[in-house]
Structure 1
């Protein structure tokens, strides 16, 4: 029997907000590995988890399929796309090429007020890690990193990184929670902000390099153990 997905939040509002919020919640579940690669999930099953009708869930699943995160399976539902080790390496490489120099440059250009505004989000990441709440961790982590990159003023760059993050699921998060190591990775977000506020470009570059290395370790997952911390 196909494993059931984790509980998802009950949503309210208009149909449009249903679709967008369902897509966001499913995307976070995919990134965190809560919806497992290779498994098939049906719109009715997920709709029951949301406590809403099937239509907005099916529409959200179709949106995710267009993003390459799911593959439609006729008369069954949607299969979570499997990502190979080579693809994970490629995604990590592209993210490093984009995020490390972009974030390092913010040490000289970012508004300190805007940087301080990200500190509560960084603390959310740490809190979620301590609680073992993977969906909250991924959602806060996404808001932090995309919010940080947005300070560079390049919207297409942010969208490229958003897509890369979605395609490369963090399969190893559950393992890191069990081993008590996820909090250490979460703390790096606060360390990064401190380096940015200190205008220390070298330190920013070092933290980002280390952090992306940990992320690749998380992506390795239980079948391909990595060094994620």
Structure 2
């Protein structure tokens, strides 16, 4: 009865099946709720199996958030989402709890989780904090890192352009974080990378009035990655400083 009421109160995740843009690994879709396994194959340790499923569901939910499949202000129940993914409600609920910690969703007692409604001010605040952390580090690296190491990051910058060119916001978000993470990793400070990645991820959750696809904006942002990398390779510190500050000032990255 409670599950039935939740389904009536909550907007369905999709009309049928798993949403096209949510990439759920095959092994997760086929996960048995009661932990059944094929005879002749030893079952994976239960804790490891649960952690693996939860992690993959978390990735899929993050993709759905960034891609707009989970709309700001809407409430989604764990049983309904679990049915779409082909798993029990437990890993979905655990993944949603993590998203609540990250500020992407809010817990709605007896109903599920509401996708947070964010405005431009929050986005601007996140961009400001990211700039305070990343800009000084990038400028320091620009003076110390040899050109060859910057050249090695070219495929990551190219990946942001490829995702932007087709308007794939979820793929762009992933490649964007990968590029920024690789740049910061050159500083050799893993805590810095972790903190910056968390802030970056939070800045990617969609705004209330977000327009899905915003291909032109993605392309403009991706082109800044290419220009920044070119300036770093050329060790043009003046251009690097200008590009880095501009990148964060207009950041929706």
| TM-score, normalised via structure 1 length | 0.81
- Equivalenced residues, count: 215
Distance in structure 2 (CA, Å) of the matches to 1:75 and 1:29: 23
Gap change, CA 1:71 and 1:116, over 3 Å in 2: same
Match of 1:174 among 180, 187, 212: 212
Gap change, CA 1:103 and 1:64, over 3 Å in 2: same
Q: CA deviation at 1:68?
A: 2.5
Q: CA deviation at 1:9?
A: 1.0
Segments ≥4 residues shifted beyond 4 Å: 31-34
Q: 2:38 is matched with which residue?
A: none
Answer yes or no: is 1:26 the counterpart of 2:52: no
CA deviation vs aligned residue, 1:149-191 (integer Å, no higher than 9, x gap): 11112222222222222323243462622xx342122121111
Question: RMSD value over aligned CA atoms?
Answer: 2.5
Counterparts of 1:50-61 in structure 2, within 5 Å, are 50-61=85-96
Match of 2:194 among 120, 142, 159: 159
C-alpha contact 1:10 1:51 (8 A) present in aligned 2: no
C-alpha contact 1:96 1:212 (8 A) present in aligned 2: yes
Match of 1:9 among 15, 19, 23: 23
Distance in structure 1 (CA, Å) of the matches to 2:54 and 2:146: 34
Gap change, CA 1:100 and 1:28, over 3 Å in 2: farther
Answer yes or no: is 1:188 the counterpart of 2:224: yes
C-alpha contact 1:173 1:182 (8 A) present in aligned 2: no
- Structure 1 unaligned regions, length at least 5: 219-229
Match of 2:246 among 199, 210, 213: 210
Q: 2:76 is matched with which residue?
A: 41
C-alpha contact 2:66 2:169 (8 A) present in aligned 1: no
Moved more, 91-100 or 111-120: 111-120
CA deviation vs aligned residue, 1:27-56 (integer Å, no higher than 9, x gap): 344345543322212223333443444322
Structure with higher Rg: it is 2
Answer yes or no: is 1:118 the counterpart of 2:187: no
Classify the secondary structure of the residue corresponding to 1:174: coil
Distance in structure 2 (CA, Å) of the matches to 1:34 and 1:72: 18
Gap change, CA 1:191 and 1:38, over 3 Å in 2: same
Q: 1:73 is matched with which residue?
A: 108
Classify the secondary structure of the residue corresponding to 2:132: helix
Q: CA deviation at 1:192?
A: 1.2
Q: CA deviation at 1:113?
A: 4.2
Gap change, CA 1:36 and 1:195, over 3 Å in 2: same
Distance in structure 2 (CA, Å) of the matches to 1:151 and 1:3: 44
CA deviation vs aligned residue, 1:44-93 (integer Å, no higher than 9, x gap): 33334434443222211111112232211122211122334433222121
Distance in structure 2 (CA, Å) of the matches to 1:90 and 1:176: 21
